[in-house]
Amino acid sequence: MKDKRENNDRDVDEIFEGFKEDKLKKAVRKAKFYSIVRNVIISIIVVCLMSVAVIYFGQAMAYEYETPIQIAVSEFYYISAPNTYIGEVRRYHSLFGGRDEYATYKILKDKIVYTGEKSYVYGPFKSDYGDLIGTESPIIFGTSYDTDDLKYNKYNVLGQREMVFYYPYIKYQDYKNDLSLLDKIGPDKYMEMALSFDRAYSIDEVRKMIPEDVTVAWYWVDDQSDEEKEESKPRKIKQEGTGEIVDVPASVRSERTAYGIKAYDETGKEIPDPVSRFVGALENGKEYDTRYKWEFTRVFNNIAGKDGKITESDIRVQGVVVTGDSNSLKSLYNLSFIKASSLGVVTDRY
């Protein structure tokens, strides 16, 4: 009897022990489940916060990388690109960088002429040119660097003619005289023309020399050192390896490589103090570490006086770009200080 009671008590204890173990296992499983859910939620929150932080930081870095090159390109157009301006800019940001695409145009009297598009990229792992490895085109497209290049009129991809300048300190065998084309162009066109002078003049002298009915849109300045001028002259050099003596032709300056002062802003309004704007562009461009910095610095140092500053008296003008119709530009005929004239863009008046 006693043994039977003890067995019954043992069975009851086993039942309660089993119940306790089952309840404990359920509690443990439930705790594990809630722990996993909590950890997943925390992980998701952390990932979301980190993603937001990375995106925010990446956008901030994109602006950080964009600003220097954007300013440098804008200022570079003020010291170069005769009669050419930046139009619409399309900006694309990616993580830590991006790409800006911009259109360019010229102003001929009161007419806007589209001249093409360019772009640049920026970011910690990107060069200014992106994945561009080079360009190929027929010889009539491109830039003129010396008199051998002048065997062909050069054009851009839109078929607009390249303007060319001639250095006043070089005596060339032949000079372009595109003023002679005015009678063939007719009075219903607007055009631009690059004029090269017989020597360098001050800006005030140039203003007095050019007839009043001709619009001076741009002043080509002397930006070369004495060493650079010597290298621009025709000369003989010995080729490495063969030792052969070859002739190096005289250099010319394309509108795509020349530097100067814009007389009008991007809206066609006359700039009150164009020299100050030019100097300011050089100084701003030197401040940013971009692919243009070396050129900003070179041009500034070659023009600056002994005091390391640029004033109007330090600037010497070797040529200009003028705009107008054929009738107004005919007033430039037979002016002795004009050594060469090179036609650029021509467009319909209306």
d(CA 219, CA 93): 36
The SS3 call for residue 128 is coil
Residue 228 lies in a domain: yes
Give 343 or 14, the one with higher predicted confidence: 343
Q: Which is higher by pLDDT, 42 or 123?
A: 123
Q: Residue 312: phi, psi to the nearest 5? A: -60, -30
For residue 239, give the DSSP letter.
P
CA distance linking residue 214 with residue 220, whole number of Å:
16
Which of 117-126, 162-171, 236-245 is predicted most confidently?
162-171
Least Cα distance to 142 among 131, 154, 133 occurs for 154
What pLDDT shows up at residue 96?
A: 73
**Position 240 confidence tier, pLDDT thresholds 50, 70, 90:** confident
What amino acid occupies position 192? E
DSSP 291-339: TTHHHHHHHHHHH--TTS---GGG--EEEEEEEEEHHHHGGGTT-TTEE
Pairing, β 317-325 against β 215-221: antiparallel
* Mean predicted confidence (pLDDT) in 328-334: 94
304 and 146 in contact (C-beta within 8 Å)? no
- Establish if 217 belongs to a structural domain: yes
**Least confident span in 42-56, 78-92, 155-169, 219-233:** 42-56
Q: Is residue 180 part of a domain?
A: yes
pLDDT bucket at 241, cuts 50 / 70 / 90: confident
Rg for the chain, CA atoms, rounded: 35
Better-scored residue on pLDDT, 246 or 340: 340
Report if residue 23 sits inside a domain.
no
Query: Model pTM greater than 0.75?
Result: yes
- Residue 93 neighbours by CB under 8 Å, 6+ apart: 59, 62, 63, 66
Q: Which tokens is 112 given?
A: 């806007």
Split at pLDDT 50, 70, 90, the class of 160 is very high
By residue count, the chain amounts to 350
C-beta separation of 191 from 346 below 8 A: yes
Would residue 55 count as lying in a domain?
Answer: no
Specify the number of domains making up the chain. 1
Query: How far, in Å, CA of 46 to CA of 235, rounded?
Result: 69
Buried-state track 199-227, b at ≥16 Cβ within 10 A, e below 16: ebbebeebeeebeeebbbbbbbbbbbeee
Position 328: which residue type?
S
Question: What is the per-residue pLDDT for 18?
Answer: 56
Contact between 192 and 342 (Cβ < 8 Å): no
**Tokens 């200080």 -> residue:** 337
Q: Is residue 267 part of a domain?
A: no
pLDDT of residue 245: 85
Rounded-to-integer distance, Cα 170 and Cα 252, Å: 9
- Comparing 223 with 245, which gets the higher pLDDT? 223
On whether residue 240 sits in a domain, the answer given is: yes
Q: Tell me if 323 sits within 8 A of 344, measured CB to CB.
A: no
Q: For position 58, what pLDDT does the model report?
A: 56
3-state secondary structure at position 208: helix
For 117-131, write each residue's pLDDT tens digit.
999 888 887 666 666
More confident site: 141 or 170: 170
Beta bridge partners of 251: 146
Residue type for position 24: L
Question: Residue 146 — pLDDT band, cuts 50, 70, 90?
Answer: very high
Map residue 97 onto helix, strand or coil.
strand
Q: Is the pLDDT of residue 48 over 90?
A: no
- Mean residue pLDDT of the chain comes to 87
Q: Give the domain extent around 253.
A: 137-222+224-258+316-348
- In this prediction, residue 243 has a pLDDT band, given cuts at 50, 70 and 90, of confident
pLDDT at 218: 98
At residue 14, the pLDDT reads 54
Give me the mean pLDDT over the 164-168 stretch: 98
- Decide which of 218 and 27 is more confident: 218
Residue 31 pLDDT greater than 70, yes or no? no
For the chain, give the percent of residues with pLDDT over 70: 82
| Element housing 345 (H / E) | strand 338-348
Task: Please report the DSSP string for 61-83 in residue order.
Answer: HHHHHHHHHHHHHHHHHHHSSTT
Which residues pair with residue 343 across a beta bridge? 193
Task: Give pLDDT, residue 27.
Answer: 64
- pLDDT for res 23: 66
In a domain, 147, yes or no: yes
